[in-house]
Structure 1
């Protein structure tokens, strides 16, 4: 491995951030993506970050393994799997900047939609239509940019989950989703022996971030937790829009 000092600093900081996000408010994982991209060019950063996210998902599942609503996963995961397939097919067809801009705007629209959903009871057809669109978009976003966290977080909030149920369901969901993505990323050369060695080096830092996140969640009440999820999604949207227009 012949990586620069900047590359090592970026991936080590990203490992802490990923571990923290997976066991706490989530959504902030998206900030690790541009951080890793500073040290690793192009789509190489996607392959480096994915196995690390799978490890952090495993850590989160260990903490919250009893707090999962499997009905949500069984309903939503097939849609996301289809979205991953779509993302795989269009991986080289959509410029990264265009996708980042569209995704950032979509997150803001979902935040605004969430405010409406909290006050207006949607009909059955509208609920299913919304679920299908979000499910497919989550799959495409995670395949193209490892950026599904904010979308899924907003959707789960709209389901009215409590704090532990939210994190437990999200943890299991992303473990399944990111593991599902591994063969796709490996088949196009994004995951290599060198990138896996780098992932192993990052494990202690991901553990540290995960522990900090777990301890933080214990002191947050439900309302503050909800605002943190929305705030993280807004930060992610701003980062994506900035990346898309710069």
Structure 2
């Protein structure tokens, strides 16, 4: 096993775990990849591993998906992917690395702020579009879905960091934990597969990346089962505190590195 493959084994374990527990943890894997190899190349190299993690998450949580929620987001993702592709085509590795770090720091800050609000708001357990007893919130406005979808497309194309963007919307909507993870799984499986032709077109993705993902797939599966086991036993906010701290450290390393 080469040193880079060993690094990606760790990345695969983190991604597998994050896909079935708290998605923000994947930010650490993104940062590790960007530090281990050129930033642009890392976005494509980690993509194949992310798809492997998505497949595991769909297998374990896919039945909990909320399709009505995803239908409002998917059309807006494509413009974000296009914008992200254009950004990748013109920026240098150093600018991209620092951009990833800044994006992660901003998203961590937003998650910390929303994390405080989440514990004061009861989760919605049904598939109704509005909470009982109140009118539509800002999170339910169609424009919110379009902004979130476009931002998710851009951040996932440039930094594989759309999980934090999606978390903001899902938290604001009060999505219940199982629906949260199941909807994440299907959304990112589709989005990450859609990113493949863009990455290939930019000359960033090759069969080596696919083969590396195949090699580390067993640890992705291991991480997925570990994430599912732990998320059943621990409070969500306990995961989030650890994940946000780790994401902040990784983001700072990218910005100053």
Query: Given the alignment of the two structures, is residue 42 of structure 1 paired with residue 56 of structure 2, yes or no?
Result: no
- Per-residue CA deviations over 1:136-187 (Å, capped at 9, x if unaligned) read 2111110001111122123212211111111111111111111111111111
For residue 64 of structure 1, the aligned residue among 61, 66, 86 is: 61
Partner of 1:244: 255
Partner of 2:11: 14
Structure 1 residues 125 and 105: CA distance shift in structure 2, 3 A: closer
Q: Give TM-score scaled by structure 1 length.
A: 0.85
Partner of 2:83: 86
CA distance in 1, matches of 2:199, 2:64: 29
Query: Given the alignment of the two structures, is residue 205 of structure 1 paired with residue 222 of structure 2, yes or no?
Result: no
Give 1:86 shift. Answer: 1.0
- Per-residue CA deviations over 1:182-202 (Å, capped at 9, x if unaligned) read 111111122112222211111
CA distance in 1, matches of 2:211, 2:170: 34
Query: Given the alignment of the two structures, is residue 169 of structure 1 paired with residue 169 of structure 2, yes or no?
Result: no
Give 1:114 shift. Answer: 6.5
Query: Given the alignment of the two structures, is residue 192 of structure 1 paired with residue 192 of structure 2, yes or no?
Result: no
CA distance in 2, matches of 1:103, 1:38: 14
Contact residue 8 and residue 39 of structure 1 kept, 8 A: no
Structure 1 residues 208 and 80: CA distance shift in structure 2, 3 A: same
Partner of 2:70: 73
Range with greater deviation from structure 2 (146-155 or 100-109): 100-109
**DSSP-derived class of the 1:105 partner:** helix
CA distance in 1, matches of 2:82, 2:73: 15
CA distance in 2, matches of 1:48, 1:244: 20
Listed as ranges, the gaps of 5+ residues in structure 1 are: none
CA distance in 1, matches of 2:107, 2:174: 21
Pairing 1:223-238 to 2, within 5 Å after superposition: 224-229=235-240, 232-233=243-244, 235-238=246-249
* Number of residue pairs the alignment of both structures matches: 240
Structure 1 residues 192 and 155: CA distance shift in structure 2, 3 A: same
CA distance in 1, matches of 2:255, 2:199: 23
Listed as ranges, the gaps of 5+ residues in structure 2 are: 122-134
Structure 1 residues 127 and 207: CA distance shift in structure 2, 3 A: same
Contact residue 72 and residue 145 of structure 2 kept, 8 A: no
Give 1:231 shift. Answer: 5.0
Contact residue 101 and residue 245 of structure 1 kept, 8 A: no
CA distance in 2, matches of 1:39, 1:125: 37
- Per-residue CA deviations over 1:1-25 (Å, capped at 9, x if unaligned) read xxx8431221111011111111111
Q: Give TM-score scaled by structure 2 length.
A: 0.82
Report the aligned-residue RMSD: 2.7
Contact residue 21 and residue 230 of structure 2 kept, 8 A: yes
